[in-house]
């Protein structure tokens, strides 16, 4: 039988706040290139960048009932993550649900399905990453789990995990790895700043990353013309 889990172990909010400035690509790299949701999930407006703690929600195809259950379990700083139990691109979510989430301090929605009212959502500046924009409405007939471990867009997500999302997509950081990943991501940003300066001054990646010998060793042959 479906369950709704009331108490989840959230990543600490101060950590979440720091992730918001790092960006998805940096975080994804810093944690060893894991946790990235399928790139079919796209933001409904740009630019946008948020980080928050996951409240997870399964929904039946064409049925958004459990989103209402999930809203009550959301707290300030959360990101709601919704996944259908089978593929569906209906418009599960619109401006009224967004109003409700925004009133609770929820930072955004990640949904492997469709959303609607995107003109209003954009005006409200309520961030959404979705697989589709679709005005097709949904029913309220079938139960599913809220705040259990789910798979969404190819990634396993445990309630309380950190969700980082921006123009590039959405990445999940496991709550027990958040502080370690944060440190590595900050180092990466610092390192990239130094590299950016070198690139701006005209240095080449071949030299910045010391690639020439290895290219030659692998057999790359420079020629003057194709044949």
Q: Is 169 left (phi over 0), alpha (psi -120 to 50) or beta?
A: left
Measured CA to CA in angstroms, residue 116 lies from 9, 47, 71 at distances of 31, 19, 18
Q: Examine residue 130 and tell whether it contacts its own copies (CB under 8 A).
A: no
Per CB under 8 A, contacts with its own copies among 40-59 are 42, 46-47, 49
Per CB under 8 A, contacts with its own copies among 63-122 are 63, 65, 68-69, 71-72, 85-91, 94-97, 99-100, 103-104, 114, 116-119, 122
Nearest-angstrom CA–CA distance, 157 and 112: 13
Kindly indicate which of the ranges 11-19, 173-181, 190-198 contains the residues binding its own copies, using the contact rule CB under 8 A.
190-198
| Distance in Å, CB of 26 to its own copies, minimum | 9
**DSSP annotation of 176:** G
Q: Examine residue 13 and tell whether it contacts its own copies (CB under 8 A).
A: no
Q: Examine residue 188 and tell whether it contacts its own copies (CB under 8 A).
A: no
β-pairing, 78-84 vs 155-157, is: unpaired
3-class SS at 143? coil
Give which of 62, 103, 101, 59 is closest to 80, Cα–Cα. Answer: 101
Kindly indicate which of the ranges 12-20, 176-184, 203-211 contains the residues binding its own copies, using the contact rule CB under 8 A.
203-211
Which residue's CB is nearer to its own copies, number 6 or number 14? 6
Q: Examine residue 209 and tell whether it contacts its own copies (CB under 8 A).
A: yes
| Distance in Å, CB of 125 to its own copies, minimum | 14
| Distance in Å, CB of 77 to its own copies, minimum | 16
Q: Examine residue 186 and tell whether it contacts its own copies (CB under 8 A).
A: no
| Distance in Å, CB of 85 to its own copies, minimum | 7
* DSSP letters for 60-129: -TTB-HHHHHHHHH--TTEEEEEEESS---SB---HHHHHHHHHTT--EEEEEEEE--HHHHHHHT--EE
Q: Examine residue 149 and tell whether it contacts its own copies (CB under 8 A).
A: yes
């Amino acid at each position: 039988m479906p369950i709704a889990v009331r108490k989840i172990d959230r990543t600490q909010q101060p950590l979440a706040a720091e992730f918001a400035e790092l960006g998805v690509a940096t975080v994804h790299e810093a944690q060893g290139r894991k946790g990235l949701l399928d790139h079919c999930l796209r933001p409904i407006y740009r630019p946008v960048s948020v980080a928050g703690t996951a409240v997870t929600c399964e929904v039946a195809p064409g049925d958004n009932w459990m989103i209402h259950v999930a809203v009550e379990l959301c707290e300030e700083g959360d990101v709601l993550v919704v996944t259908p139990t089978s593929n569906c691109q209906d418009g599960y979510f619109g401006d009224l649900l967004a109003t409700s989430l925004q009133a609770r301090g929820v930072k955004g929605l990640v949904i492997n399905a469709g959303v609607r009212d995107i003109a209003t959502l954009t005006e409200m500046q309520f961030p959404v990453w979705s697989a589709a924009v679709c005005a097709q409405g949904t029913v309220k007939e079938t139960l599913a789990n809220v705040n259990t471990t789910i798979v969404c867009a190819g990634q396993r997500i445990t309630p309380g995990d950190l969700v980082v999302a921006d123009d590039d997509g959405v990445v999940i950081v496991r709550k027990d790895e958040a502080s370690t990943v944060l440190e590595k991501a900050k180092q990466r940003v610092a390192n990239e700043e130094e590299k950016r300066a070198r690139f701006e001054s005209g240095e080449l990646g071949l030299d910045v990353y010391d690639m020439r010998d290895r290219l030659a060793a692998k057999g790359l042959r420079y020629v003057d013309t194709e044949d």
